[in-house]
Structure 1
Protein backbone atom coordinates (compact mmCIF):
# COMPACT_ATOMS: atom_id res chain seq x y z
CA UNK A 1 0.00 0.00 0.00
CA UNK A 2 1.36 3.37 -0.98
CA UNK A 3 1.63 5.86 1.83
CA UNK A 4 0.62 9.48 1.72
CA UNK A 5 4.23 10.58 2.37
CA UNK A 6 6.12 7.99 0.31
CA UNK A 7 7.49 10.78 -1.90
CA UNK A 8 9.63 11.89 1.06
CA UNK A 9 11.23 8.50 1.68
CA UNK A 10 14.16 7.28 -0.44
CA UNK A 11 16.26 4.15 -0.73
CA UNK A 12 19.65 5.31 -2.00
CA UNK A 13 21.52 3.04 -4.39
CA UNK A 14 24.74 1.26 -3.44
CA UNK A 15 27.36 2.90 -5.65
CA UNK A 16 30.98 2.01 -6.20
CA UNK A 17 33.62 4.31 -7.70
CA UNK A 18 37.03 2.95 -8.62
CA UNK A 19 40.09 4.26 -10.41
CA UNK A 20 40.33 2.97 -13.97
CA UNK A 21 44.14 2.78 -13.81
CA UNK A 22 44.49 0.25 -11.00
CA UNK A 23 40.85 -0.62 -10.13
CA UNK A 24 41.32 0.59 -6.53
CA UNK A 25 37.97 1.48 -4.95
CA UNK A 26 37.69 5.06 -3.64
CA UNK A 27 33.96 4.98 -2.78
CA UNK A 28 31.76 2.02 -1.88
CA UNK A 29 28.56 3.08 -0.18
CA UNK A 30 25.18 4.77 -0.48
CA UNK A 31 24.81 7.76 -2.78
CA UNK A 32 21.92 10.24 -2.88
CA UNK A 33 21.71 12.88 -5.58
CA UNK A 34 19.33 15.19 -7.42
CA UNK A 35 18.08 12.39 -9.65
CA UNK A 36 16.74 10.57 -6.56
CA UNK A 37 15.51 13.44 -4.37
CA UNK A 38 14.85 16.10 -7.06
CA UNK A 39 16.87 18.67 -5.12
CA UNK A 40 20.33 20.12 -5.74
CA UNK A 41 21.95 18.13 -2.97
CA UNK A 42 24.34 15.18 -3.00
CA UNK A 43 25.32 12.91 -0.13
CA UNK A 44 27.62 9.92 -0.04
CA UNK A 45 27.92 7.60 2.97
CA UNK A 46 30.40 4.74 3.17
CA UNK A 47 32.30 2.52 5.56
CA UNK A 48 36.02 2.81 4.80
CA UNK A 49 37.61 -0.59 5.46
CA UNK A 50 41.11 -0.08 4.05
CA UNK A 51 43.44 2.80 3.21
CA UNK A 52 43.11 4.53 -0.14
CA UNK A 53 44.47 7.56 -1.94
CA UNK A 54 42.00 9.48 -4.05
CA UNK A 55 43.11 10.84 -7.40
CA UNK A 56 41.17 14.08 -6.90
CA UNK A 57 43.64 16.98 -7.28
CA UNK A 58 43.35 20.27 -5.39
CA UNK A 59 40.19 21.96 -6.61
CA UNK A 60 37.40 24.43 -5.84
CA UNK A 61 33.69 24.46 -6.58
CA UNK A 62 30.81 26.90 -6.40
CA UNK A 63 28.89 25.12 -3.63
CA UNK A 64 29.23 24.36 0.07
CA UNK A 65 30.62 20.92 0.86
CA UNK A 66 30.99 19.06 4.14
CA UNK A 67 33.30 16.09 4.69
CA UNK A 68 32.97 14.02 7.85
CA UNK A 69 34.65 10.97 9.34
CA UNK A 70 33.41 9.01 12.34
CA UNK A 71 34.47 5.83 14.06
CA UNK A 72 32.31 2.76 13.54
CA UNK A 73 31.94 1.81 17.23
CA UNK A 74 28.43 2.79 18.42
CA UNK A 75 29.47 2.21 22.05
CA UNK A 76 32.32 4.74 21.89
CA UNK A 77 31.82 7.62 19.44
CA UNK A 78 35.29 9.02 20.21
CA UNK A 79 37.02 5.79 19.13
CA UNK A 80 38.21 6.49 15.59
CA UNK A 81 40.57 3.75 14.50
CA UNK A 82 42.25 5.40 11.56
CA UNK A 83 44.02 8.36 10.01
CA UNK A 84 42.77 10.77 7.34
CA UNK A 85 44.98 13.31 5.52
CA UNK A 86 43.40 16.27 3.74
CA UNK A 87 45.14 19.30 2.21
CA UNK A 88 43.43 22.69 2.60
CA UNK A 89 43.92 26.15 1.11
CA UNK A 90 46.08 27.56 -1.66
CA UNK A 91 49.16 26.73 0.44
CA UNK A 92 48.13 23.04 0.58
CA UNK A 93 48.23 23.02 4.38
CA UNK A 94 48.31 19.40 5.53
CA UNK A 95 45.68 18.33 8.07
CA UNK A 96 45.83 14.91 9.75
CA UNK A 97 42.72 13.62 11.54
CA UNK A 98 42.89 10.78 14.05
CA UNK A 99 39.56 11.45 15.76
CA UNK A 100 35.99 12.12 14.55
CA UNK A 101 36.10 15.23 12.35
CA UNK A 102 33.82 17.42 10.23
CA UNK A 103 35.35 19.79 7.65
CA UNK A 104 33.36 22.70 6.17
CA UNK A 105 34.45 23.68 2.65
CA UNK A 106 32.81 26.95 1.53
CA UNK A 107 32.37 27.81 -2.16
CA UNK A 108 35.70 28.73 -3.78
CA UNK A 109 37.84 27.11 -1.07
CA UNK A 110 40.81 25.04 -2.30
CA UNK A 111 40.89 21.48 -0.94
CA UNK A 112 42.28 17.99 -1.66
CA UNK A 113 43.98 15.67 -2.27
CA UNK A 114 42.49 13.32 0.31
CA UNK A 115 44.06 10.13 1.59
CA UNK A 116 42.97 7.58 4.17
CA UNK A 117 46.39 6.44 5.38
CA UNK A 118 45.42 4.01 8.15
CA UNK A 119 42.30 1.99 8.96
CA UNK A 120 42.38 -0.12 12.13
CA UNK A 121 38.59 -0.49 12.24
CA UNK A 122 35.95 0.66 9.73
CA UNK A 123 35.56 4.45 9.51
CA UNK A 124 32.30 6.11 8.49
CA UNK A 125 32.87 8.74 5.80
CA UNK A 126 30.14 11.20 4.79
CA UNK A 127 30.29 13.76 1.99
CA UNK A 128 27.52 16.36 1.55
CA UNK A 129 27.35 18.86 -1.28
CA UNK A 130 24.72 21.59 -1.14
CA UNK A 131 23.30 23.59 -4.02
CA UNK A 132 25.22 26.65 -5.23
CA UNK A 133 23.93 29.76 -3.40
CA UNK A 134 22.90 31.46 -6.65
CA UNK A 135 21.18 28.37 -8.06
CA UNK A 136 23.77 27.90 -10.82
CA UNK A 137 24.81 24.38 -11.90
CA UNK A 138 27.61 22.83 -9.80
CA UNK A 139 31.16 23.50 -10.95
CA UNK A 140 34.45 21.84 -10.09
CA UNK A 141 37.68 23.55 -11.11
CA UNK A 142 41.20 22.17 -10.58
CA UNK A 143 43.28 24.77 -8.73
CA UNK A 144 46.77 24.15 -10.12
CA UNK A 145 47.55 24.65 -13.80
CA UNK A 146 49.00 21.14 -14.11
CA UNK A 147 45.58 19.68 -13.16
CA UNK A 148 43.46 21.76 -15.58
CA UNK A 149 41.35 19.47 -17.69
CA UNK A 150 41.09 16.79 -14.99
CA UNK A 151 37.76 15.02 -15.37
CA UNK A 152 36.74 12.38 -12.79
CA UNK A 153 34.57 10.66 -15.43
CA UNK A 154 37.72 9.91 -17.44
CA UNK A 155 39.71 8.30 -14.63
CA UNK A 156 36.99 6.59 -12.60
CA UNK A 157 34.42 3.86 -13.14
CA UNK A 158 30.99 4.39 -11.56
CA UNK A 159 28.85 1.31 -10.82
CA UNK A 160 25.38 0.98 -9.34
CA UNK A 161 25.54 -2.21 -7.23
CA UNK A 162 21.93 -2.08 -5.97
CA UNK A 163 19.69 -4.96 -6.88
CA UNK A 164 16.55 -4.03 -8.84
CA UNK A 165 13.43 -4.39 -6.70
Structure 2
Protein backbone atom coordinates (compact mmCIF):
# COMPACT_ATOMS: atom_id res chain seq x y z
CA UNK A 1 0.00 0.00 0.00
CA UNK A 2 1.33 3.40 -0.94
CA UNK A 3 1.83 5.95 1.79
CA UNK A 4 1.65 9.71 1.69
CA UNK A 5 5.42 10.28 2.07
CA UNK A 6 6.77 7.37 0.01
CA UNK A 7 8.30 9.82 -2.47
CA UNK A 8 10.77 10.91 0.25
CA UNK A 9 12.08 7.41 0.95
CA UNK A 10 14.84 5.82 -1.13
CA UNK A 11 16.35 2.35 -0.78
CA UNK A 12 19.87 2.81 -2.14
CA UNK A 13 21.09 0.19 -4.58
CA UNK A 14 24.00 -2.12 -3.77
CA UNK A 15 26.77 -1.02 -6.14
CA UNK A 16 30.07 -2.76 -6.76
CA UNK A 17 33.02 -1.19 -8.57
CA UNK A 18 35.93 -3.34 -9.77
CA UNK A 19 39.14 -2.47 -11.56
CA UNK A 20 38.96 -3.99 -15.03
CA UNK A 21 42.65 -4.88 -15.04
CA UNK A 22 42.70 -7.27 -12.07
CA UNK A 23 39.02 -7.40 -11.01
CA UNK A 24 39.86 -6.11 -7.52
CA UNK A 25 36.89 -4.56 -5.74
CA UNK A 26 37.35 -0.90 -4.83
CA UNK A 27 33.76 -0.18 -3.73
CA UNK A 28 31.12 -2.63 -2.51
CA UNK A 29 28.30 -0.86 -0.75
CA UNK A 30 25.26 1.34 -1.03
CA UNK A 31 25.29 4.44 -3.21
CA UNK A 32 22.57 6.81 -4.28
CA UNK A 33 22.75 9.97 -6.36
CA UNK A 34 20.71 12.55 -8.17
CA UNK A 35 18.86 10.02 -10.34
CA UNK A 36 17.04 8.50 -7.35
CA UNK A 37 17.05 11.48 -5.01
CA UNK A 38 15.86 14.10 -7.51
CA UNK A 39 18.52 16.33 -6.01
CA UNK A 40 22.13 16.94 -7.06
CA UNK A 41 23.69 15.05 -4.15
CA UNK A 42 25.47 11.70 -3.92
CA UNK A 43 26.21 9.54 -0.90
CA UNK A 44 28.01 6.22 -0.75
CA UNK A 45 28.56 3.86 2.19
CA UNK A 46 30.56 0.66 2.41
CA UNK A 47 32.26 -1.64 4.89
CA UNK A 48 35.94 -1.98 3.97
CA UNK A 49 37.01 -5.53 4.85
CA UNK A 50 40.46 -5.70 3.28
CA UNK A 51 43.18 -3.29 2.11
CA UNK A 52 42.90 -1.78 -1.34
CA UNK A 53 44.47 0.91 -3.48
CA UNK A 54 42.02 3.24 -5.19
CA UNK A 55 42.28 3.82 -8.92
CA UNK A 56 41.73 7.58 -8.87
CA UNK A 57 44.79 9.65 -9.73
CA UNK A 58 45.28 13.07 -8.14
CA UNK A 59 42.34 15.21 -9.25
CA UNK A 60 40.14 18.20 -8.48
CA UNK A 61 36.45 18.84 -8.91
CA UNK A 62 34.10 21.78 -8.81
CA UNK A 63 31.98 20.55 -5.88
CA UNK A 64 32.37 19.99 -2.14
CA UNK A 65 33.16 16.42 -1.14
CA UNK A 66 33.42 14.76 2.26
CA UNK A 67 35.22 11.48 2.93
CA UNK A 68 34.77 9.75 6.28
CA UNK A 69 36.04 6.58 7.90
CA UNK A 70 34.76 5.07 11.14
CA UNK A 71 35.59 1.91 13.05
CA UNK A 72 33.09 -0.93 12.88
CA UNK A 73 33.03 -1.62 16.63
CA UNK A 74 29.59 -0.47 17.89
CA UNK A 75 30.81 -0.69 21.51
CA UNK A 76 33.76 1.69 21.04
CA UNK A 77 33.53 4.48 18.44
CA UNK A 78 37.27 5.24 18.87
CA UNK A 79 38.27 1.65 17.97
CA UNK A 80 39.26 2.23 14.34
CA UNK A 81 41.14 -0.93 13.44
CA UNK A 82 42.83 0.20 10.25
CA UNK A 83 44.96 2.68 8.35
CA UNK A 84 43.94 5.04 5.53
CA UNK A 85 46.40 6.99 3.37
CA UNK A 86 45.33 10.00 1.31
CA UNK A 87 47.44 12.53 -0.60
CA UNK A 88 46.30 16.16 -0.72
CA UNK A 89 47.44 19.42 -2.29
CA UNK A 90 49.51 20.21 -5.37
CA UNK A 91 52.61 19.00 -3.53
CA UNK A 92 50.91 15.63 -2.79
CA UNK A 93 51.29 15.85 0.98
CA UNK A 94 50.75 12.41 2.52
CA UNK A 95 48.20 11.98 5.33
CA UNK A 96 47.89 8.77 7.35
CA UNK A 97 44.77 8.20 9.44
CA UNK A 98 44.60 5.57 12.17
CA UNK A 99 41.50 6.84 13.96
CA UNK A 100 37.99 7.89 12.88
CA UNK A 101 38.35 10.79 10.44
CA UNK A 102 36.24 13.14 8.33
CA UNK A 103 37.91 15.05 5.50
CA UNK A 104 36.38 18.13 3.89
CA UNK A 105 37.53 18.55 0.28
CA UNK A 106 36.45 21.96 -1.04
CA UNK A 107 36.15 22.59 -4.79
CA UNK A 108 39.56 22.83 -6.44
CA UNK A 109 41.55 20.98 -3.74
CA UNK A 110 43.87 18.39 -5.30
CA UNK A 111 43.43 14.97 -3.65
CA UNK A 112 44.14 11.26 -4.17
CA UNK A 113 45.39 8.66 -4.61
CA UNK A 114 43.66 6.94 -1.72
CA UNK A 115 44.78 3.67 -0.17
CA UNK A 116 43.46 1.57 2.69
CA UNK A 117 46.73 0.00 3.84
CA UNK A 118 45.56 -1.97 6.89
CA UNK A 119 42.21 -3.43 7.96
CA UNK A 120 42.13 -5.30 11.28
CA UNK A 121 38.32 -5.36 11.34
CA UNK A 122 35.73 -3.74 9.05
CA UNK A 123 35.99 0.02 8.56
CA UNK A 124 32.95 2.09 7.60
CA UNK A 125 33.67 4.42 4.67
CA UNK A 126 31.28 7.22 3.67
CA UNK A 127 31.56 9.57 0.69
CA UNK A 128 29.30 12.61 0.25
CA UNK A 129 29.30 14.83 -2.84
CA UNK A 130 27.32 18.07 -2.65
CA UNK A 131 25.96 20.10 -5.57
CA UNK A 132 28.11 22.75 -7.19
CA UNK A 133 27.73 26.24 -5.73
CA UNK A 134 26.65 27.77 -9.05
CA UNK A 135 24.41 24.93 -10.24
CA UNK A 136 26.79 23.89 -13.03
CA UNK A 137 27.28 20.18 -13.81
CA UNK A 138 29.85 18.41 -11.61
CA UNK A 139 33.33 18.03 -13.10
CA UNK A 140 36.33 15.90 -12.17
CA UNK A 141 39.71 16.84 -13.65
CA UNK A 142 42.98 14.91 -13.30
CA UNK A 143 45.66 17.20 -11.86
CA UNK A 144 48.83 15.85 -13.50
CA UNK A 145 49.29 15.88 -17.28
CA UNK A 146 50.16 12.16 -17.28
CA UNK A 147 46.62 11.39 -16.01
CA UNK A 148 44.68 13.72 -18.37
CA UNK A 149 43.13 10.80 -20.25
CA UNK A 150 41.96 8.99 -17.11
CA UNK A 151 38.28 8.09 -17.32
CA UNK A 152 36.81 5.97 -14.48
CA UNK A 153 34.50 4.11 -16.86
CA UNK A 154 37.53 2.89 -18.84
CA UNK A 155 39.26 1.28 -15.87
CA UNK A 156 36.31 0.30 -13.67
CA UNK A 157 33.27 -1.92 -14.00
CA UNK A 158 30.11 -0.70 -12.24
CA UNK A 159 27.57 -3.36 -11.26
CA UNK A 160 24.21 -2.83 -9.58
CA UNK A 161 24.00 -5.94 -7.40
CA UNK A 162 20.51 -4.98 -6.16
CA UNK A 163 19.06 -6.06 -9.49
CA UNK A 164 20.61 -9.53 -9.17
CA UNK A 165 18.70 -10.40 -5.98
Distance 2:153 2:130 in 1: 21
CA apart distance, 1:135: 0.3
Q: Spell out, residue by residue over 1:37-95, the C-alpha distance to the aligned partner (whole angstroms, 9 max, x if none).
A: 01100111000000000110000000000000000011100000000000000010000
Distance 1:155 1:42 in 2: 21
Distance 2:164 2:144 in 1: 41
SS at match of 2:153: helix
Distance 2:133 2:154 in 1: 28
Distance 1:62 1:101 in 2: 23
Distance 1:107 1:6 in 2: 33
Q: Spell out, residue by residue over 1:92-131, the C-alpha distance to the aligned partner (whole angstroms, 9 max, x if none).
A: 0000000000000000000000000000000000000000
Match of 2:101 in 1: 101
Distance 1:150 1:77 in 2: 37
Distance 2:141 2:4 in 1: 42
CA apart distance, 1:163: 3.9
CA apart distance, 1:164: 6.7
Match of 2:58 in 1: 58
Residues 6, 164 of structure 1: alpha-carbon distance in 2 compared, 3 angstrom cutoff: farther
TM-score (norm 1): 0.98
SS at match of 1:96: strand
Distance 2:163 2:32 in 1: 16
The answer for unaligned runs of 5 or more in structure 1 is none
Report whether the alignment pairs 1:121 with 2:97. Answer: no
Runs of 4+ in 1 over 4 A off after TM superposition: none
TM-score (norm 2): 0.98
RMSD: 0.9
Match of 2:137 in 1: 137
Report whether the alignment pairs 1:47 with 2:47. Answer: yes
Match of 2:30 in 1: 30
Report whether the alignment pairs 1:158 with 2:158. Answer: yes
Match of 1:18 in 2: 18
